[in-house]
Amino acid sequence: MKKAILAAFLFSLTGWLVVSLGPRDKGQTVALAAAPGAKPESIARGGQLYDTWWKVVPGAKEPKDNQPLWASQTTNKRKGSVTWRCKECHGWDYTGKDGAYGSGSHKTGFAGVWNAAQKKSVDELAAILKGSANPQHNFSSVLRPEDIADLANFLKGGLVDVKQYVDYKSKKPIGGDIERGKAQYALCGACHGPDGKKLNFGSDKEPEYVGTIAKENPQEFTHKIRVGQPGSNPPMPGALVLGWDIKQVLDVLAYSQTLPEK
């Protein structure tokens, strides 16, 4: 019965992706139609591919060696599969060296995807993913054509300018409302628990909960809330598919930052 109610709820919320331009734009909203014909499900799936593609692509194996481009940087010391994650080069805020990954242990010096996504078409973005601009950036050996299409749709129609919505210094959402977020979080709490500690993303020694991610990495939190968590069981419904606007995401972020970290 509970599953039927949840399914009906999700179905009623599913619709075209609408994003609020935020308080700076007097509450106006605009449909992200930059990827013509792209469905919210495709855009959200592309966002999960951007996160960890081998948890999304059927039959994909987690890479063991470094991504070929990784050798062109020396500041990020990570190795193996993490070097194949789009987010590790381009950041959770999509701006690479110009964003949150412009310093610290994740620094690579690589450019973000934000500027290219604003200027190039979906087909051009797909071509880049297949190595048109740099053969070492060819992901067609691990991503199927439909995967590349979803990822390109996300880049064109699913990015947001995170710097407009998160204060990088305080790590607080700009304009987020805790009380509204608490009501919105009720859906999240079904899996994560009322206090966000039902699922541990880390280890027993170094636990990570909803509150941990919300406080320490609001850029990552925003991305995952919008597109879902790759490989989660049951599947985590992303805000894009649910029809939530960015203001609702920020409200959930604001409330989640009140939840315990440990």
Q: Where do the domains of the chain lie?
A: 2-31+172-256, 40-157
**CA-to-CA distance for 147 and 154, rounded, in angstroms?**
11
Structure-token pair, residue 166: 């998160």
Q: How far is CA 214 from CA 4, 68, 74, 262, in A?
A: 30, 32, 29, 12
- Rounded to an integer, what distance in angstroms lies between the CA atom of residue 10 and that of residue 75? 43
- The amino acid occupying position 124 is E
- Name the token pair of 109: 């010096």
For the record, the structure tokens of 142 come out as 């691990």
pLDDT at 28: 33
Torsion angle of C-alpha atoms 92, 20, 158, 116, degrees rounded to 10? -80
Q: In tens digits, what is the pLDDT along the chain, a chain of 262 residues?
A: 333 333 333 333 333 333 333 333 333 333 333 355 699 999 999 999 999 999 999 999 999 999 999 999 999 999 999 999 999 999 999 999 999 999 999 999 999 999 999 999 999 999 999 999 999 999 999 999 999 999 999 999 999 999 999 999 999 999 999 999 999 999 999 999 999 999 999 999 999 999 999 999 999 999 999 999 999 999 999 999 999 999 999 999 999 999 999 8
pLDDT at 35: 52
CATH 1.10.760 fits 40-157, yes or no: yes
Just give the CATH number of 2-31+172-256.
Answer: 1.10.760
Helix, strand or coil, per DSSP, at residue 31: strand
User: Two tokens at 152?
Assistant: 């390109």
- Tell me if domain 2-31+172-256 and domain 40-157 are identical in fold: yes
Q: Which amino acid is at 120?
A: K
Confirm whether pTM is higher than 0.75.
Answer: yes
